[in-house]
């Protein structure tokens, strides 16, 4: 999900340089056509209740640490839900249509309160003082893509050890799944190591629907591998941009996709590809296959 730093929430920022984030990397891996519609065509998507709840719960857990330590309890967190939700609706009036009626909205907020209750069984925020929350990170890989993202929380121990925390409002993935989450955390670990000069000791995902935890302890080899993976993925993305071919890739996830009417795999017609939009989004112009930047 996208994040906007609180200090920039009301400002119009200049257009950013083409970059790769974990979420957009996941889009391309899932379906290059989905990636194109989101990144290049920027086709609007209706807000989903699940994603919006995730944004709201993340906001509460960010704001919670603004309170004095002794006030960081479940009641205080739950009390933040409605005011922050009202603020979200003011910022984006389309969210007012997310629920059919007031009863549905209240049930949805109660679901958020349940996620927060689960959080308090997993951590005691009165004993934590994060080094950073919703930290915007950006790194230019040498001869490679610009990387960026938002890290939910960074903790630094007295000895300097770094822990990266990511909140997930869904349930814990089965052992055979979770590759997307592991990639995301190693992606962030690579950025933190390069930016702070120290490899994170622990990467921890907290799944607030069922209270599950996934803990990773990245090695130097792990981060070398994820950098190689990122470079290969960026090569694939820039090749698709230079050829103008972002092919659909059908999977079970298509059942939840809002873009079927624009997808050739479902008989839909995508918008005409705008070369200028491709160049703005990715720094590569269709038809320039021979000159597309290679990443090794």
Q: Domains for the chain: give ranges and CATH numbers.
A: 132-138+150-224 (3.90.320.10)
Residue 15: per-residue pLDDT? 55
Give the separation between CA 230 and CA 145, rounded to whole angstroms: 8
Kindly tell me if the per-residue pLDDT of 4 is higher than 90: no
Closest alpha carbon to 167 in 55, 27, 47 = 55
pLDDT of residue 9: 38
Pairing status of strand 162-168 against strand 202-207: parallel
DSSP 131: S
| Per-residue pLDDT at 250 exceeds 50 | yes
- Say how far apart CA 173 and CA 171 lie, in whole Å: 6
pLDDT digits (tens, 9 = 90+) for 38-73: 999 999 999 999 999 999 999 999 999 999 999 999
| Residue 177: per-residue pLDDT | 81
> Could you tell me the CA-to-CA distances from 209 to 54, 116, 171, 223 in Å, in that order?
11, 9, 5, 29
Q: What is the pTM of this model?
A: 0.89
pLDDT band per the 50, 70, 90 thresholds, residue 13: very low
DSSP run (H or E) holding 152: strand 146-156
DSSP helix, strand, coil percent of the chain (3-state; round to 5): 50, 15, 35
Segment 187-209 shows an average pLDDT of 98
Which pLDDT score is estimated for 16?
Answer: 65
């Amino acid at each position: 999900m996208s994040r906007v730093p609180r200090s920039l929430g009301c400002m119009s920022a200049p257009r950013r340089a083409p970059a790769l984030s974990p979420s957009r990397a996941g889009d391309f891996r899932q379906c290059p056509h989905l990636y194109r519609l989101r990144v290049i065509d920027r086709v609007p998507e209706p807000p989903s209740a699940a994603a919006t709840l995730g944004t709201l719960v993340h906001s509460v857990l960010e704001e919670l640490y603004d309170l004095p330590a002794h006030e960081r309890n479940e009641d205080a967190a739950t009390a933040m839900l409605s005011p922050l939700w009202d603020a979200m609706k003011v910022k984006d009036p389309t969210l007012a249509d997310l629920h059919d009626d007031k009863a549905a909205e209240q049930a949805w907020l109660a679901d958020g309160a349940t996620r927060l209750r689960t959080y308090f069984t997993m951590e005691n925020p009165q004993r934590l003082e994060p080094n950073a929350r919703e930290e915007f990170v950006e790194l230019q890989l040498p001869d490679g893509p610009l990387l960026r993202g938002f890290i939910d929380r960074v903790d630094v121990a007295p000895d300097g050890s770094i822990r990266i925390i990511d909140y997930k409002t869904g349930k814990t993935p089965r052992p055979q799944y979770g590759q997307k989450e592991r990639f995301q955390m190693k992606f962030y670990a690579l950025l933190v190591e390069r930016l702070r000069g120290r490899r994170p000791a622990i990467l921890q995902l907290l799944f607030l629907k069922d209270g599950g935890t996934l803990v990773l302890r990245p090695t130097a080899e792990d981060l070398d591998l994820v950098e190689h993976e990122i470079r290969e993925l960026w090569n694939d993305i820039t090749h698709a941009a230079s050829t103008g071919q972002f092919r659909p890739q059908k999977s079970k996830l298509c059942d939840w996709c809002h873009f079927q009417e624009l997808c050739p795999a479902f008989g839909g017609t995508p918008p005409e590809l705008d070369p200028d939009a491709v160049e703005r989004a990715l720094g590569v112009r269709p038809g320039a296959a021979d000159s597309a930047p290679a990443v090794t």
